Each structure stands twice: as C-alpha cells, then as structure tokens.
C-alpha cells in the first residue's frame, strides 16, 4: 500500500467538549497544539462551565476557537462543535485527556491511504492523573496495556462519513459513543485500525464511567438490545 501524497493536519478539525475542567483542559489543548500534524481547527465547546475553564481557554487566543453554550451535555457539545467547524476530517478529544504528538499524523496517513477507509481508530492508553496521591491511585483498577475501543477520542473520520451516520444522540447519559458506533456499522462506515496509541485517557475519579457506573450498566444493556435489533431486524 503506497503512502498518501498528502497527510496535512490542515484537513482536520478537533472537537473538544468541556464543562468545569479548569484543572486539565490546558493540558488537553497543549497536546493538540503540539501535534506534528497541526490541525486546521481546534474547536472547544464550553458547555456552561462555572469554574475557571473560560479563563484558561481565553489565554490561547486565535489558535483555539471557543464556543459557549448553556449546559446541554457533553454529547450536545460535540454536535455543536461539528456544526461550527469546517474541515473535511473530524477528530475528538475529551478535555481531561491527551493526544501523543503523532496522534493525528498516524491516523491521517492511514485515512488517506489508497484503500480509502471512512475512519481510523488507534490505541487508547489509560493513566492515573499524576496529582493523585498513591493511596487514591491504588483504588483504580484498569488495564495498563493499550487497547482499541469504539471511543470518539481514538477515532478520525471523514466528515461526510460522520454525517452519513448522523449526530451523536443526546438522550443517552453515557455510552452515546458506542451507540453512534453501532449506527456507523449499520450504515456501512468502513473503519480500520492503526497500532499506535493515539489517545491517553486520564483517570481521576470524576470520570463518567466512575461517577455514573450504575447508569452506564443500564445504558450498555439498552445498547445491546438496540444494536441486535438494528443488525438482525425485528
């Protein structure tokens, strides 16, 4: 397979939903500004933050476009970012996570390869946030090895393919990324993987998977039922 002729980050808009994340959002944005393939657009959608998040974001000026909205939820914020961005390729990052420097470059090279996939997913590596003490860190139970997961942070996708599937549904408290992935499979979106780690997921105690664990279990059961119905029919 030949290398693509162009692998410029100028093709990419990165969408960053955020609410009340003043402690970590600067690290997330800094990781985007440090990309070897610098994105054309960094769109941060502030979903009604009441802490110092707006002040942190204001320090960046023109390289970062900040869009503010009333608190409608992470998934509504992601949809808003897609709507206001213009680049033909979409990427996503949670405000408490990080991209390694080559995250966009390795996925973009694969996305633009001759076999023309619709989307690319790379590896995700979890880490305990460094400011937590050893006692707090010891309470986390997670796989320390890289893994591929149907999460937006690890995905790079052509805007046209995303729009073919439709927006992220906002009536899910959790797991809307998995619900979207189910619809993408049903719509025939062709997704390939790359072996590199493309996102580092921070564990800090306020992750939705921890704070809404019971709701996540209910959402996953609903997802399984809906996915089976979508794939197999009534």
Judge contact between 15 and 85, C-beta under 8 A: yes
For 63-87, what is the mean pLDDT?
Answer: 96
Judge contact between 168 and 79, C-beta under 8 A: yes
7 against 121, higher pLDDT:
121
Query: Is 1 part of any domain?
Result: no
Query: Is 4 part of any domain?
Result: no
Tell me the torsion sign for CA atoms 173, 178, 184, 190. positive
Per-residue pLDDT of 8-63, as tens digits, reads 789 999 999 999 999 999 999 999 999 999 999 999 999 999 999 999 999 999 99
The partner residues of 157 in beta bridges, in order of sequence, read 90, 119
Q: Taking the C-alpha atoms of 225, 230, 166 and 213 in order, what is their torsion angle to the nearest 10 degrees?
A: 10
Q: What is the CATH number of the domain that holds 67?
A: 3.90.550.10
Task: Tell me how far CA of residue 63 lies from CA of 29, 60, 149, 202, in angstroms.
Answer: 10, 6, 29, 24
Please give the tally of structural domains in the chain: 1
Question: 61 — phi, psi (to 5°)?
Answer: 65, -145
* Run of H or E residues at 69: strand 65-69
Structural domain of 93: 9-232
Separation of alpha carbons 26 and 93, rounded Å: 12
Query: Is 27 part of any domain?
Result: yes
Query: Is 26 part of any domain?
Result: yes
Residue located via tokens 């049903």 = 186
Per-residue pLDDT of 105-154, as tens digits, reads 999 999 999 999 999 999 999 999 988 877 777 777 778 899 998 899 99
Query: Is 204 part of any domain?
Result: yes
Query: Is 2 part of any domain?
Result: no
* Run of H or E residues at 90: strand 89-92
Residue 60 CA, distance from chain mean position: 21
């Amino acid at each position: 397979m030949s290398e693509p002729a162009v692998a410029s980050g100028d093709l990419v808009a990165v969408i960053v939903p955020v609410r009340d994340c003043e402690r970590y959002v600067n690290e997330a944005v800094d990781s985007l500004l440090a990309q070897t393939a610098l994105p054309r657009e960094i769109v941060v959608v502030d979903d009604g933050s009441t802490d110092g998040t707006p002040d942190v974001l204001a320090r960046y000026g023109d390289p970062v476009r900040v869009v503010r909205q009333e608190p409608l939820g992470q998934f509504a914020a992601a949809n808003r970012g897609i709507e206001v961005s213009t680049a033909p390729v979409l990427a996503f990052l949670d405000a408490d996570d990080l991209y390694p420097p080559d995250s966009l470059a390795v996925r973009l090279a694969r996305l633009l390869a001759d076999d023309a996939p619709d989307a690319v997913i790379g590896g995700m590596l979890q880490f305990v946030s460094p400011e937590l003490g050893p006692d707090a860190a010891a309470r986390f139970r997670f796989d320390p090895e890289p893994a591929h997961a149907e999460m937006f942070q690890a995905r790079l996708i052509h805007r046209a393919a995303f729009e073919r599937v439709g927006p992220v549904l906002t009536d899910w408290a959790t797991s809307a990324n998995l619900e979207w992935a189910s619809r993408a499979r049903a719509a025939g979106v062709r997704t390939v993987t790359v072996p590199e780690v493309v996102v580092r997921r921070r564990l800090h105690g306020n992750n939705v998977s921890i704070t809404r664990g019971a709701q996540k279990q209910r959402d996953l059961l609903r997802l399984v039922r809906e996915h089976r119905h979508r794939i197999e029919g009534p």
